[in-house]
Amino acid sequence: MAFYDPIINVLGLREWCDSTVVKSDTPKSMAELLADAAGKDSVETAWYDIPFPSLDNLNQSCGAIDRTRDMTSGVEAVFLDIKDPLKTVLDPLTQPLSWLLDGSLYLFTHTPWWVLIPLVLFLSFKVTRSWPTVILVAATFFFFAFIDHYTYAVETLSIIFVCTVLCILFGIPIGILMSKNDWFQKINIPILDMLQTLPSFVYLIPLIFLFSVTESKLYGIAIMLYAIVPVIRLTDLGIRLVDKDIIEAADAFGMSKKQKLFGVEIPLALPTIMAGINQTIMMALSILVIASLVSAPGLGTLVLRGIRNLELGVGLISGFCIVLLAIMLDRVSKKALSRINAAQDH
């Protein structure tokens, strides 16, 4: 007799439980296999060893209650049922992402190094106005080229560039809407919490079923879902933290909502928004190695090669290159942020 049989009987649920017959071809649980091996109907349970009323334990007493494996199979069945119509809708919507990623990858990798590196240095100086930062960028790129990791680093940089720009284009408007609408914020906060706490590998599971592994949008969507959260949160926070007295002064001058947003709120919230962009860049870079499992090019492929083939040197050097790239992007974005803060202070 199963442990919860008396409770089921007292509650008068026996007839309902017996109305569902468990299929004979259903795989047996470990407890049932042990009971069969011992020649018993069920595994004996001591009075002090009360099993938790989980789905599997309750199923032993009530066949109408599904097992855990039935629940997971049901979730899979539902996803497979909606897969084709969902793919029909998402394919045309996400195809531009593949074009952007492939186009950026082609542009970055086919631009000669003697053009790309000076261009990156020029842009770094324009953004930071800091010669030490420009020297750091130059040293990083020349190190990549010296150890023949330049192409992999440029591939990584192209993916980060596209995904970060798209995260900014989508994330900042969402953050602005959240700051202006409390209900919209309440709806989005649980979604953002889920995106921020899901393990990196989990992002890939539904996407692998929806898209081909050879499609660039597969890893692009995974990177964007993982990295977009900070820019949304900090945009919302930055605009909400704008001094109410300044908003009242803007109202007194007769500013419209659009004028207040672009002339007052966004400029004052820009340091916080830039901090969100910095975190978005770092998070996009952190998931890139995981994205290499689904054909994302770049330095992550070398890390995976080192793991799969037990090539310690390849894995360590490529991991160190990712760290250098992260430091370079972090310093550039933080210098740009400090320039914005200094301009506002004056």
Q: Name the CATH topology of 74-345.
A: MetI-like fold (1.10.3720)
Domain boundaries, the chain: 5-66, 74-345
Backbone CA torsion sign across 320, 159, 196, 90:
negative
Q: Which residue has 């790129």 as its token pair?
A: 141
Model pTM score: 0.85
The pLDDT assigned to 38 comes to: 59
Consecutive 10-residue averages of pLDDT for the chain (346 residues): 79 80 55 59 61 83 84 88 89 93 95 95 93 95 95 95 96 95 94 89 84 88 93 95 90 88 91 92 89 89 92 93 94 87 70
Q: Which residue has 């360590």 as its token pair?
A: 316
Q: Which residues of 318-340 are buried (b: 16+ CB within 10 A; e: fewer)?
A: bbebbebbeebbebbbebbbeee
The pLDDT assigned to 47 comes to: 62
The pLDDT assigned to 24 comes to: 45
